[in-house]
A and B are shown apart, each in its own frame.
Chain A
Amino acid sequence: MHPLLTRPRQLGLYLLAWIPLAGILVYLLTGGGGLSLGEATALTVPLCLVYAFVCLAAWYPCRATPLEKSGFAKLLFTHLTAAAVLGTYWTYQAKELAIGLAHFWPRFAGLDQRLAKHIPLLWITGVLLYVMSVTFHYVLLAEQASREAQERAMHARVLARDAELKALRAQVNPHFLFNCLHSVSALTSSDAGKAREMCILLADFLRTTLRLGGKESITLEEELALVRGYLAIEKVRFGARLHMEEEVQKKSMEVLIPPLLLQPLVENAIRHGIANLPEGGVIRLSAQEEANVVTIVVENSFDPESPAPLKTGLGLDNIRQRLDTRYGPEASISVRTEGNRFQVSLRLPAESNGVLA
Chain B
Amino acid sequence: MRAATDKKTRAVIVDDEELARQMLREFLSGHQEIEIVAECANGFEAVKAVTELKPDLVFLDIQMPKLDGFEVLELIGTERAVIFVTAYDEYAIRAFDIHAVDYLLKPFGAERFETALQRARQRLGGKLPAATELSSSARPPAQPLERIVVRDGTRVFIIPIAKLDYAEAQDDYVALASEGKKHLKQQTISSLESSLDPSRFLRIHRSYIVNLEKVTKVEPYSKDNHMVVLSNGTQLPVSRSGYSRLREFLDPARVK
Contact = CB atoms under 8 A, between A and B. Distances in A.
A181 B108 CA distance: 9
Contact of A239 (B18, B42, B146): B18
Given A179-B106, A308-B146, A186 B65 contact: no
Nearest to A189: B26
Contacts of A305: 66, 158, 160
Nearest to B17: A237
Interface string A105-127: 00000000000000000000000
Chain A contact-residue range equals 20 to 34
A207 B21 CA distance: 29
B20 interface: yes
A268 interface: no
Interface of A: 174-175, 178-179, 181-187, 189-190, 236-239, 271, 275-278, 303, 305-308
B147 interface: yes
**The 8 nearest A-B residue pairs measured at CB:** A182-B106, A186-B23, A182-B107, A178-B87, A186-B19, A185-B107, A181-B107, A307-B146
A179 B87 contact: yes
Contacts of B16: 275, 278
A182 B20 contact: yes
B65 A182 contact: no
Contacts of B23: 182, 185-186
Given A275-B16, A275-B63, 11 more contacts: A178-B87, A178-B107, A179-B17, A182-B87, A183-B19, A185-B107, A186-B20, A276-B64, A277-B65, A278-B16, A306-B65
Interface string B8-39: 00000000111110110010000000000000
A201 to B, nearest CB: 14
B160 to A, nearest CB: 8
A197 B164 CA distance: 49
Chain B contact-residue range equals 20 to 34
Nearest to A198: B19
Contacts of A275: 16, 63, 65
B105 interface: yes
B17 A307 contact: no
A326 to B, nearest CB: 31
Contact of B17 (A183, A271, A303, A308): A183
A275 B147 CA distance: 19
Nearest to A240: B18
Nearest to A280: B65
A266 B171 CA distance: 48
B88 interface: yes
Contacts of B65: 275-278, 303, 306
Interface string B95-130: 000000000011111000000000000000000000
A271 B105 CA distance: 18
Contacts of A186: 19-20, 22-23, 26
A181 B19 CA distance: 11
A204 to B, nearest CB: 20
Contacts of B109: 185
